[in-house]
Amino acid sequence: MIGHQWMYTKLIDSHHTGWLAGNTDWLVHVVSLICASVLILLLIIYGYILWLKYKSRRREQVKTTLMQELLAEGSFLQQYLNNGEIGVDVLNISGDQQIVLQQLLLQRLAQGPVEHETLRIRLLSWQVFGSSYRSVLKTGKWSERVNTLLYIEQFHMVELLPKLEDMLRVSSCTPLERFIILRIYARTGYFRIVKELMREQYVWSDSQVLQILLLLNDSSLTRLKDHFKDVPYQVQCNIVHAIRIRDDQTDGALVLLEKLILGEDSLLRTHAYQALAQVGRCREDLLKGLLLVWNESGEERQRSERLTVTRLMGDIHADAFIPRLKVMMGDPSFQIRQEAANSLARYEQGLDELRDTTVNHPDRYARQIAEETLERMQYGRKMD
């Protein structure tokens, strides 16, 4: 009853007409106008798209014909790639012809041609596209500039390096453009790359830095290793990765890694252990020595470092590591416990040590992981 009264008072007594009711005439006009405008706009876009379709279809036909001409036996492109003679008419091509030629040359490069053909492609690309690339870099829109940089990289256009240097200094140059420019520097062995990598101003992902470092020639990498303290921290970490991936077994690399392992920085230490495990295969004694140093003070180290070292202790056997591995089997991290058990299992006396752990280890999780590993080993033997 009370509800009815409330509704009555609220809705009828107050003569609720709503704020929309008095405004319907002009609202109808406004909404109809909006709908009509959108509809007209859509029709215009529709017409424009159809016109674009027509245009692009014709353009595609022209391109296909051009491509067939260029691929034909005896065409100027085939002749040039075979004999190395550039005709004057090749240098004067423009528009769609240039696009088709660029596409063909990129395809050819992707197929991995022989060296003399690669050199010819680079020379031709510079002579045909050089000036247009230069103007696009100056005035083109962002996506065009990025694409042009990618093409310059593919064609190794060292002649454009000074132009790229200017571009790098312009504040409007975006991080992606800067990254591609430095990648071109690295790929072409340009001397300024080391200086650029020592700058703090770049914000890149680790993989971008690593990409550049992996492209560097040996002398540039050596210079970076020599100035290791002066490069930004992100680059330092990636130099260590690069040493590992490039399997850099030079004395300079080994000394640097040793220094880092004995240093204070945990992340660099972890990376250095990983790198040394790869590049110091022939220097097992060195790695063993460094691991023994770690063995003395490893408990407070970070998880990633503990994990790396646990894995390495399984790769490089030393009786002194066994007690440490047993301690690691009681680590709070499941992954480290598992890795420690696996490493221990790889020792000659591993089976006995694991059995001993299942009974005598004070930590419940360590006993559990030892049991699991034993079970797995047993199962493995049955399967084999």
Partner 1 sequence: MDERWIEMLRSFVLACYEGIFIYLVLAIVMCSVLVVAAARTLILRRDLDPLQYHEMLDEELAPAVSLLVPMRNSENTIVQRINCLLGIQYARYEVIIINDGSEDATMPRLMETYDLMPIRSKVHYSGLVQETAQIKCVYQSRLHHRLIVIDKAYGGRMDSLNAGLNISQYPYIASVGPLTFLERDALVKIMKPVMDALPGEEVVACSGRVDLMVPENTAHPELTDNSTRRTSSALYIMQSIEYVRAFLIGGVGLVRYNINVLLFTAQVFGVFKKNRVMEVGGYKGDDHAAHMELVMRLQKHMKRIRERGRIIYIPDPICRVEVPGTWRQLRRQRTRWYMQLASSLWAQRSMIFNPAYGWMGMVSIPYFILIELLGPVMELGTLLLFISGIGLQLVDINLCIILALLLMLYGSLLSAGMVMFEIWCSRKTYTSREVTRLLLYACSETFWFRPLNNIFRMVGIVQAMGLRKEEEKEIRNGLK
Cα end-to-end span (Å), the chain: 83
What x-and-dash track marks residues 262-301 binding partner 1 by CB under 8 A?
----------------------------------------
Residue 6 interacts with partner 1 (CB under 8 A): yes or no: no
Distance CA 177, CA 150 (A): 9
Residue 151 interacts with partner 1 (CB under 8 A): yes or no: yes
Distant-in-sequence, close-in-space partners of 157: CB < 8 Å, separation ≥ 6: 122, 125, 126, 130, 133
Q: Taking contact as CB under 8 A, which single stretch among the options 73-81, 143-151, 260-268, 356-364 is the one that binds partner 1?
A: 143-151
Residue 118 interacts with partner 1 (CB under 8 A): yes or no: no
Alpha-helical (H) ranges within 72-174 are 76-83, 88-91, 96-110, 115-139, 142-155, 161-169
Residue 46 interacts with partner 1 (CB under 8 A): yes or no: yes
DSSP secondary structure letters along 275-305: HHHHHTGGGHHHHHHHHHHHHHH-TTS-HHH
Residue 346 interacts with partner 1 (CB under 8 A): yes or no: no
As measured in angstroms, the least distance from the Cβ of 342 to partner 1 is 8
Residue 93 interacts with partner 1 (CB under 8 A): yes or no: no
Q: Nearest CA to 209 among 185, 242, 177?
A: 242
Residues 195-214 interacting with partner 1 (rule: CB under 8 A):
203-208, 210-211, 214
Residue located via tokens 């993989």:
207
As measured in angstroms, the least distance from the Cβ of 251 to partner 1 is 23
Q: Taking contact as CB under 8 A, which single stretch among the options 126-134, 257-265, 285-293, 330-338 is the one that binds partner 1?
A: 330-338
Q: Is the dihedral of CA 228, 229, 232, 234 positive or negative?
A: positive
Residue 8 interacts with partner 1 (CB under 8 A): yes or no: yes
As measured in angstroms, the least distance from the Cβ of 290 to partner 1 is 24
As measured in angstroms, the least distance from the Cβ of 142 to partner 1 is 6
Q: Taking contact as CB under 8 A, which single stretch among the options 44-52, 192-200, 263-271, 293-301 is the one that binds partner 1?
A: 44-52
Q: Taking contact as CB under 8 A, which single stretch among the options 7-15, 222-230, 276-284, 304-312 is the one that binds partner 1?
A: 7-15
Q: Nearest CA to 260 among 287, 241, 233, 240?
A: 240
Q: Which is nearer to partner 1, 144 or 352 (CB)?
A: 144
Residue 49 interacts with partner 1 (CB under 8 A): yes or no: yes
DSSP secondary structure letters along 348-382: TTHHHHHHHHHHH-S-HHHHHHHHHHHHHHHHHHH
The two structure tokens encoding residue 241: 């990765």
Q: Which is nearer to partner 1, 144 or 226 (CB)?
A: 144
Q: Which is nearer to partner 1, 301 or 303 (CB)?
A: 303
> In the set 146, 168, 286, 327, which binds partner 1 (CB under 8 A)?
146
Q: Which H, E and C letters describe 119-139, residue by residue?
A: HHHHHHHHHHHHHHHHHHHHH
The answer to whether 354 and 341 are in contact (CB under 8 A) is: yes
DSSP secondary-structure letter at 216?
S
**CA distances from residue 342 to 247, 313, 317, 347 in whole angstroms, order as listed:** 26, 10, 13, 9
Residue 28 interacts with partner 1 (CB under 8 A): yes or no: yes
As measured in angstroms, the least distance from the Cβ of 181 to partner 1 is 14
| Size of site (CB under 8 A) for partner 1 | 61
Q: Which is nearer to partner 1, 142 or 191 (CB)?
A: 142
The answer to whether 258 and 225 are in contact (CB under 8 A) is: no
As measured in angstroms, the least distance from the Cβ of 278 to partner 1 is 12
Residue numbers of the site for partner 1 (CB under 8 A)?
Answer: 7-8, 11-12, 16-21, 24-25, 27-28, 31-32, 34-35, 38-39, 41-42, 45-46, 49-50, 52-54, 106, 142-144, 146-147, 150-151, 154, 203-208, 210-211, 214, 234, 245, 334-335, 338, 342, 376-377, 379-384
